[in-house]
Amino acid sequence: MYPKAHRTIHYTQLKDLPPDNALCREWNTYRRELPRLLEEGNEGKVALVKGDEIVLICENWDDAVTEGYRRYHRDGFMAKPIHEQEPVFRVPFYF
């Protein structure tokens, strides 16, 4: 299950991932496609992203991760809950 967060920011405020992040391509794909995904009524669903492609829209996190492992094993994929208001996790003061 995906953790809950009580704060959110609008998706347009999402930051870039560092170029050395293994999910940089998938993150950019998600951000590029997000307006369309929201327009198509996918709020709350989970996108399975591989490289430059949104491969599948799943109903929940577990389905997306299960399908990701089935298709790509440990070869790298991103499961991303689709939200206009992106959850922001509160972390300890020393981070």
**Binding residues for other proteins, per CB under 8 A?**
1-7, 9, 14-18, 21-23, 27, 61-62, 65-66, 68-70, 73-80, 86-95
Between residues 5 and 35, which has the closer beta carbon with respect to other proteins? 5
- Nearest approach in angstroms of CB 3 to other proteins is 4
- Nearest approach in angstroms of CB 75 to other proteins is 8
Element of type H or E holding 61: helix 61-72
Between residues 1 and 39, which has the closer beta carbon with respect to other proteins? 1
Among 21, 54, 51, which residue's Cα sits nearest to residue 38? 54
- Nearest approach in angstroms of CB 37 to other proteins is 15
Residues 5-38, buried b or exposed e (16+ Cβ, 10 A)?
eeeeeebeeeeeeeeeeeeebbbebbbebbeebe
